[in-house]
Amino acid sequence: MSHALQRRRALESMRRPDLAFSGENPCDADPMLIRAALHHGAPAGQECPVCASERMLVLNYTFGDQLGQFSGRIKSREELEEMETQFGEFTVRVVEVCPDCRWNLLIETYVLGDGRRRRPPRRQQTVEDIY
């Protein structure tokens, strides 16, 4: 599955309204998503493909059986690195969000984990516990 292709199609269909746009309007980010991006998002490192805003953000959503109640949470890149050694397998969905024009799109999906099957969460020691 190529998210890059989906992204290009979404952008193309916005520039060419004559093309039937299949799917949702990519500039209709839910207010909740905008708020989440402003609080938890990391700078996208590139400008918005629609309005050229430099405030574009990316969010990492994590999903997986082994995450138990924490499935669906937003995680920072640092947290993902920690989680990679704490869980056997989980999926990360990367969404880019522009707080200015409300462009939003799933740009990447990947699987992380050390491959060892675990029971859903119990308390794990983190860097914060050590220092």
Positions in the binding site for Zn ion (CB under 5 A): 48, 50-51, 53, 98, 100-101, 103
Which one, 50 or 95, has the nearer CB to Zn ion?
50
- Min CB(100)–Zn ion separation in Å: 5
Q: How far is the CB of 49 from Zn ion (least distance, A)?
A: 8
Closer to Zn ion by Cβ: residue 64 or 99:
99
DSSP E strands, the chain = 42-43, 57-63, 74-75, 90-97, 104-112
Nearer to Zn ion, 58 or 92 (CB): 58
Beta-bridge mates of residue 17: none
d(CA 97, CA 46): 11
The three-point CA angle 65-68-72 to 5° equals 85
**From the CB of 18, what's the least distance to Zn ion, in Å?**
23
